[in-house]
Amino acid sequence: MPTAHLLGTGAVTSDPHRTTTMIALDAGREPLLIDCGGDPLPRLEAAGLDPLRLGALVVTHEHADHVAGFPLLLERLWLLGRREPLPVYAIAPTLAQLHRTHDAFDVTNFDGYPGWTAHEIPYAAGAPAFERFGWRATAAPGRHAVPVVGLRFEDLDSGRVCTYSSDTAPEPAIAELARGADLLLHEATGEGPMHTSAAQAARIGRDAGAGRTVLVHLPRAAAFAPDLEAARAIDPHVEAGEEGGAYPF
């Protein structure tokens, strides 16, 4: 059964035990890493995933809490022995930010350094992102301070589906990606023009018929607790994502 590993569940500012929201999808093949704002490699290992088997990185948008760990990830993979370029999928503005972030560091003396290959995701509702590594990924724009995409991942072996909203205010195109998903990972930073509250996320999951709604990109507990209570009035089964948690779907 495919599994989503929550390598991190925090917003830009969150509780001390949470790092930035990063997700690994594993179905017994090459795992996918989604977003890279922190240091994902030790968390991949803690989840029982071999970083050297990493199939690809998918980055949802250009903000630091989603891209800042990218150069460190590549350096760590190189030191562990990876020599094949890492495929990276993102929309055009995010790819540009990844280039800037990566190129801030001189790797010319890193003998055998793998580097990365850029693959552009179209910025349109229902856009095909890729069909590779045993997954079919579909994207749609969200509503945030910068261009962002949410993503729907279908495991081609089992047909099971995981949708990740990324950072967004409630957005019909992303809610459509969640339609009938077995697992919806939805941000719950708080209601506003760029983000979603836990209660709004619970309503999105309920209306989309998602099998399970797990909240990520979480603020500090003091701000989040009353919002989670409101969310559970809409869907009693909605959950706050557990740091390091594994969620089969």
What is the third-level CATH fold of 3-240? Metallo-beta-lactamase; Chain A (3.60.15)
H or E, element range at 223 = helix 221-234
With vertex at residue 77, the alpha carbon angle to CA 72 and CA 82, rounded to the nearest 5 degrees, is 150
- The predicted structure's pLDDT at residue 102: 98
In our burial notation (b when 16+ CB lie closer than 10 A, e otherwise), range 9-44 reads bbbeebeeebbbbbbbbbbebbbbbbbbbbbbbebb
| pTM of this prediction exceeds 0.95 | yes
- The predicted structure's pLDDT at residue 142: 98
- The predicted structure's pLDDT at residue 144: 98
- The predicted structure's pLDDT at residue 28: 96
Can you tell me the distance from the alpha carbon of 31 to that of 35, in angstroms, rounded to the nearest whole number?
13
Spatial contact of 60 and 166, defined as CB atoms under 8 Å apart: yes
Which residue bears the tokens 């990566």?
102
- The predicted structure's pLDDT at residue 30: 97
Tell me whether strands 86-90 and 116-120 are parallel, antiparallel or unpaired.
Answer: parallel
- The predicted structure's pLDDT at residue 49: 98
DSSP for 147-165, written as a single string: -BEEEEEEETTT--EEEE-
For the chain, the helix, strand and coil percentages under 3-state DSSP, each to the nearest 5 = 25, 30, 45
Spatial contact of 73 and 100, defined as CB atoms under 8 Å apart: no
Please count the CA atoms within 13 angstroms of the CA of 222 that sit on its side-chain side: 3
- The predicted structure's pLDDT at residue 165: 98
**Backbone angles phi and psi of 155, in degrees to 5:** -75, 115
Can you tell me the distance from the alpha carbon of 92 to that of 216, in angstroms, rounded to the nearest whole number?
25
**Backbone angles phi and psi of 14, in degrees to 5:** -150, -170
- The predicted structure's pLDDT at residue 62: 98
- The predicted structure's pLDDT at residue 31: 98
Considering only CA atoms, which of 122, 45, 13, 10 is closest in space to residue 24?
Answer: 45
Q: CA dist 244 to 5, 6, 17, 131, 185, Å?
A: 7, 5, 10, 27, 14
Instruction: Give mean pLDDT in consecutive 10-residue pieces for the chain, a chain of 249 residues.
Output: 98 96 98 98 98 98 98 98 98 98 97 98 98 98 98 98 98 98 98 97 98 98 94 97 98
Mean pLDDT over all residues of the chain?
98
3-state secondary structure 167-220: CCCCCHHHHHHCCCCCEEEEECCCCCCCCCCHHHHHHHHHHHCCCCEEEECECC
Task: At 179, list the tokens.
Answer: 């339609």
- The predicted structure's pLDDT at residue 65: 98
